[in-house]
Each structure stands twice: as C-alpha cells, then as structure tokens.
Amino acid sequence: MKPKAIILRGTGTNCDIETFNSFKYVGAEPELVHINQLLSGERRVLDYDLMAFPGGFSYGDDISAGKIYAVKMNKLSADFGAFIKDKRPVIGICNGFQILVKTGFLPENKGNAQLSTLYANDCGHFLAKWEKVRINKKSPCIFTKGLPEEIELPIAHGEGKFIVEDKKVMADLVARELHALTYAENPNGSMLDIAGITNSSGTCFGLMPHPERNFFAWQNPDRPAAAREAVSAGYHFFKNAVDYVI
C-alpha cells in the first residue's frame, strides 16, 4: 500500500501542485488538502503518513510570512503535535518553513514556543535564483540522507533570513547538528548561513530552498546535456521520506 501524503495549502499557496507531483512520482499517494478542510473536520491530519507544507505566499504573507496560516494551525495543534511526535515525516518548503517556525514546531521545544523567525532578506527585496547549499552529514535529517555534500537548489523568497535571538537556542541547534542545510554563499543574511533545520528525530524538516524545483535534471539551466532525463537532487528529499515510511 502506498503511503498517504497530505499536501496542505491555503489562500496564496502556489507550489502545491509541484509538491503533489513530487510525492506521487516517488511512490506516495498524495492529496491536496486546504487548511479549512481540517478546521471543519472534513479531513484529519492523523489519517496520513507524510505531510508537506508547500511554498507560496499564504494569506498574502500579511503580518509576516506564514503567520496567519500558523494561527489557523494552532486550533489543531494537538493533532499536528501528535503527527510529529509519531515521527511521521513532515517537510515545510519556503513558506512551509515559515509556517513551521511560527507554529513553534521548529526549532523543536516542549512548549511549541516560537524561538526563531524568518525575516526580510538583508538585500531588502525578493530573491529568486539558484544557490549552492551544503548538506550537514552529521544531521539526523531523514530527507537529506545520501545526498552529496553540496547540491544546487533554487530559492524564491522575500523573508528568508533565519534568526534566533536566544544564543542558547542556536547553540543547541548546532550542538545537536540540527542545522541540516546551509548556504555555500549566504544570499539573505541567515544566521550561521542556515538554509534549513530539522528536529532531533530528523523527521520534521523546514528549508527555504525548493527541492521540488530541482526534481529533474532538465529543471536546472546549467544541467549537463546528457543528464536531461535524469532525476536531480530534489528527487531524493521526497524519495527519502517515502522510503522511511515504507
């Protein structure tokens, strides 16, 4: 039986179809679900094996990116918390990472307090370009297992600067190798070049770059001509999650 993946969306989400197709290609049975369907009881988070928060601009990024979506999620925090506690894979991409941060699920803490944020890029404007990122081989993150030390992924965000005010929180992230992904050349001013973080079990992962946009080699403008039909780095993020569940 194929693992069931819930692809969560809301007003302004715009990477849901790509995320849906990525999970479908690697053997999952994905379903697009609006946050309102959870709030109404039409769908239930715990009926799924994997979860994804795609990129986009949920609720127009009003107040701050991902904040309104996070407020809606707080009404279902028990189910979301149980999903993560069960070590079912969760990935938040770009706006999805912003949502996970603002719900307090990342960085991991007992009270689900918001310990960090993703703030406006140092350059003061939206960035959309390809970036080289480094995989932390010591990280427990299940999504990055088996990837080479450096890969290339596109970014597309205006609020991607990862900030942690409490030095102890950052020290703990680093000590436990939870900074799973870092920029080779920091494009947005993120502390310690952080591009993505995970929880201690490695099953809840948030990142600003878009793995679904470098799923096939042809999506990369600098691809080798011979690699046109091959899968690329982003494929492995989704395949690893499905393999973990199976």
Q: How far is residue 31's CA from residue 54's CA, in Å, rounded to a whole number?
A: 13
For residue 132, what are the CA distances in angstroms to 146, 149, 154, 195?
Answer: 17, 10, 9, 10
Point out the catalytic residue in the list 157, 179, 210, 236: 210
Block residue for tokens 């920091």: 186
Q: Which pairing describes strands 127-135 and 150-157: parallel, antiparallel, or unpaired?
A: antiparallel
Point out the catalytic residue in the list 18, 108, 159, 212: 212
Region of residue 201 (phi > 0: left; psi between -120 and 50: alpha; otherwise: beta):
alpha
For this structure, is 210 an active site residue? yes
Nearest-10 crossing angle of helices 67-74, 77-85: 90
For this structure, is 212 an active site residue? yes
Burial, 31: exposed, middle or buried (Cβ in 10 Å; 0-12, 13-18, 19+)?
middle
Q: How far is residue 53's CA from residue 78's CA, in Å, rounded to a whole number?
A: 17
Nearest to 141 by CA among 66, 244, 25, 8: 244
Neighbouring C-beta atoms of residue 64, cutoff 10 Å: 15
Point out the catalytic residue in the list 94, 108, 141, 236: 94
Contacts of 78 by beta carbon, 8 Å cutoff, 6+ apart: none
Q: How far is residue 198's CA from residue 177's CA, in Å, rounded to a whole number?
A: 9
Residues forming the active site: 94, 210, 212
